[in-house]
């Protein structure tokens, strides 16, 4: 029987990188250690998730593996936007990064919130795939969110497209240098 774990506290501070830059999720103390069986839909109990990462459905008093997917979506937007989920001047959840990212994505203004330090390095297709799956993670309805498996597939796709963009950009720069040299 397949079992599931609801972490309950996924946030950027809970994601560690090892020597090979592989992500490791830490802080399993608040997780549901009585693993969910395949046929269970949710666990009851308090949400431990920090402000800004909180699945809107947690207000109804139950958590699902999809609650963790929502939190991962917020972390993905933190990476993309170069800011934390909960700024000190936030008054409530609607001002946190999750709802903000959803609004700017839906308005087609995501470019305005992408962190300047990475904006020039991102390939447009990679950005589209990455932002698209991050946005899907933030759906209010948990059934509309991707599964962990679907999320990994889309993130790998974004990475593959980004690597291709990076290689192509480097080759184009080399060809431009050769062209300039030949002109002289």
Q: Which residue out of 9, 18, 20, 34 is catalytically annotated? A: 9
Helix H segments across the chain? 65-81, 97-106, 116-119, 124-137, 148-183
**Which helix (H) or strand (E) element contains residue 4?**
strand 3-4
Angle at 29 between CA 74 and CA 35, to 5 degrees: 90
Residue 9 appears among annotated catalytic residues = yes
From the list 131, 132, 139, 125, the residue with the least C-alpha distance to 169 is 125
- Active site residues per annotation: 9
């Amino acid at each position: 029987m397949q079992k599931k774990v609801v972490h309950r506290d996924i946030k950027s501070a809970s994601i560690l990188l090892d020597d090979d830059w592989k992500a490791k999720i830490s802080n399993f103390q608040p997780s549901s250690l009585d693993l969910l069986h395949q046929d269970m839909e949710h666990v009851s109990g308090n949400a431990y998730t920090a402000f800004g990462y909180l699945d809107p459905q947690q207000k109804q008093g139950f958590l699902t593996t999809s609650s963790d997917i929502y939190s991962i979506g917020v972390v993905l937007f933190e990476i993309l936007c170069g800011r934390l989920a909960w700024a000190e001047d936030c008054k409530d959840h609607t001002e946190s990064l999750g709802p903000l990212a959803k609004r700017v994505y839906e308005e087609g203004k995501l470019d305005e919130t992408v962190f300047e330090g990475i904006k020039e390095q991102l390939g447009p297709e990679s950005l589209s795939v990455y932002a698209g799956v991050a946005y899907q993670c933030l759906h209010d309805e948990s059934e509309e969110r991707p599964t962990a498996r679907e999320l990994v597939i889309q993130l790998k796709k974004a990475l593959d497209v980004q690597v291709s963009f990076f290689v192509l950009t480097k080759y184009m720069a080399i060809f431009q240098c050769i062209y300039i040299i030949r002109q002289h």
